Every structure is written in C-alpha cells, then in structure tokens.
Amino acid sequence: MERTFLDEAVARMLARIDATLNQPGQGFPHYADPKGGQWTRSPAGDWTGGFWCGLLWLAALRTGDAKYRDQAHAWALRLRPRVTSKSVFKGFLFWYGAELGCELFADPDARDLSIEGTRGLMAMYSHEAKLIPLGTEAEEASDVGASEANIDALPGTIGLLLSYGVVLGSDEMARQHLRQHIALCVRDDGSVCQSATFDPANGKLVRRYTHKGIHENSTWARAQAWGMLGLAQALAWRETEFRDDAVRVADWWVEHLPRDQVAFWDFDDPAIPNTSRDTSATAIAAAALLKLARLIPERSARYRATAQASVEQLVSQYLTPVSQDDKREPGILTEGCFNKRINVGTAHELIWGDYFLFESLLVLDGTLVSERV
Ligand code: GLY
C-alpha cells in the first residue's frame, strides 16, 4: 500500500480525534451522525468506552504527542468503576482502555487497571458452565444473565485472561471460555451465530439466536468479525489448539465478503445490496486478518490481501474527505450499523469502527505490530 495513502488517511483520522477531544460534552464518545459529527455519549462507557481510550493510546504511539497519552490515561481511569460491572463486555473496556496503555507505554496505572478489570472478569467465571456468561448488566437489549453467551464476549476478554495467566492464574479460564464459545456459536461451516442460551449447570447448548442480527440463523457481520478477533488474540498468545477454528472462521469471512470488500450488516439480509453496510464489522475483520496473516503463515498472503482491500475501500469510499465541497468533518468513518433491529445508529460513525480502522492503518504503515493489541 502506498505510504502517501496511509499517511493521508491517518492524518484525517487524527483530525477527527482532535475534533472529538475539542467537542463539548460529558461521557465517552459512542456513536455519531456523520452530518454534524456530534457524538452521542455514554456516561459510564457502556461496552464501547475503551475504544475511545484505545484510539488515544494509538494516536500517542503514532505521533509521540504527550497530549494523546495524557488524555488516554485520564479517560482510562474513568473506567475504574466498571471493574465490578456484571457484564462480560468489560473485557472490551479494560483491554482497549487499559491494557493498551500498559503494553504500548508501560503505564503503571493502566497496568493496575487492567489487572483489576481482569480480576473483575474472573469473578464472573462459571466453573459449572466453563465460561463467563453475558451477566445481568450486559449492554444488550434482552436475554442477558447467567445462561446467555455472545461471541462478542471473546475479544479483549481472551487477551486479558491470557496476558495475566501467569500473574492471576487465568489462562485456563481463557481456554475454557473460548472452547465453550466455539461450541455454542461457531457453526460447522465456519460461520458464526451471535448468541446462545446454555444450561448453567453444565454449559450445554440449549438454543442459538441473535441479539443484533436479522434472524436467529443468520450471520450478523459483527458476530463473524468478533469471532475472528477473539481467535486471533488466542493465537497471538500461542494457543495453537485454536488454529483450525481461526482458519475456518476467517476463511468464511473472506469467501463471503461482497466484491467491494465491505460487509453488509448481516450476510443473510435478503435485501442485499439494498440494505445497510457495517463499516465497523469490516474494520474489526481487517484488524483480525492482519493479525492472523502473521500467525498463520500458509494463509498470510490471502488474509493480508483481503485486509488491505477492505481498508482501501473503507478509506476511499467511507472515510469523510478533506474537501471544500463536503460539509462533513474530515476523518469520520461513515456507514457503521450499530443496531438495525431497534433502528439505532444504522448509518453512523461508531467509536469501535474508528478504533479498528485506525489500528489497521497503523499496522499497515509499520507503526504497530498487530499482535501486540
Ligand atoms: N455487543 C457488541 C456489538 O454490538 O458489536
């Protein structure tokens, strides 16, 4: 990929990070209407607050500017009350919000917070079902609690449990949590179902369904992408037993992407191509493929080429330009689909979409080794 293309895309995204820092408002940026660029915020970070900190940690890495590091640190500390949240999605908060600061800058406060978040996850582990369930406070519309699981419970959570395996003894929990989610959510053909109900006494599957996809048998784009990312995080920690699962889940994505390399919100929406895209799912998958390209040598060329093609399309077709004819702020990743079932943020900028596009750009420009995050 051309250096000038990458530099220009990074510059646009940094401009948007600066604009977000300067935008008045309390709480973590959550999703925004590209027209005005105004963020809807979450006071306590919902499941997405860590991605805002993660963007700032990465901006600090790319630029060396202490402003971003100070902001990342300050925003991360605001996540501390969430250590005890009864939501498995706090894995997202403390991996992207805190562990990145520890890994990239050896920030001691970020490390403490990351360990606290990991302990908070461990406290939710069910020894009977051998996984961490969604929990009663999981940020979903319905069907949460001790007998529900989502594939979105892998990224971050797996990274934290494996990172602190030696310190906290959490590595076997990570393996079990991942094995169970593969059994509950990954179909034989490598496609991923978002959600499952299980028997809390033994973890056995009761039914598969979805919180955010089009129907219970569909492949919601972010389900596939989160699955790829969780598996990539396990392989980054040399958990080679998950290699074949990672290949079949990632291959499914590569083989089902539309020709223009940007996913629709659900692979089974009968209205395709006249329906919503999900640029955030595409960005998550690109970031996962860039990790897997290094971890699975025999798929390296295929996964890297797909990730590059997706990133090129996201930047050239969906990232708002610097242009006097375009009234929108530059550097907004448009066409993310938050929750089409309840019609929230269906053609919006999503903070995690920004994060994963930015991560991918920094991997492609050589700033970041993909498996570190
Ligand atoms: N719960 C994670 C997502 O909506 O992608």
pLDDT digits (tens, 9 = 90+) for 255-314: 999 999 999 999 999 999 999 999 999 999 999 999 999 999 999 999 999 999 999 999
Instruction: Ligand 1, residue 150: give the atom nearest the CA.
Output: 1
Any atom of ligand 1 within 6 Å of the Cβ of 356: no
Region 347-362: what's the mean pLDDT? 98
Triad 46, 368, 37: Cα angle to 5°? 40
List C-alpha distances in Å: 272 to 59, 144, 325.
36, 30, 30
- pTM for the whole structure: 0.98
Yes or no: say if 100 and 53 are a contact pair by the CB < 8 Å rule: yes
Q: Is the dihedral of CA 338, 340, 343, 346 positive or negative?
A: positive
Any atom of ligand 1 within 6 Å of the Cβ of 152: yes
Continuous H helices in the chain: 3-22, 49-63, 66-77, 90-94, 100-105, 108-122, 157-163, 165-168, 171-185, 221-236, 243-256, 279-295, 300-313, 351-364
Whether the pLDDT of residue 142 is over 90: the answer is no
For residue 222, the CA-to-ligand 1 centroid distance in Å is: 7
pLDDT at 140: 77
For residue 48, the CA-to-ligand 1 centroid distance in Å is: 9
CA 232 to chain centre: 12
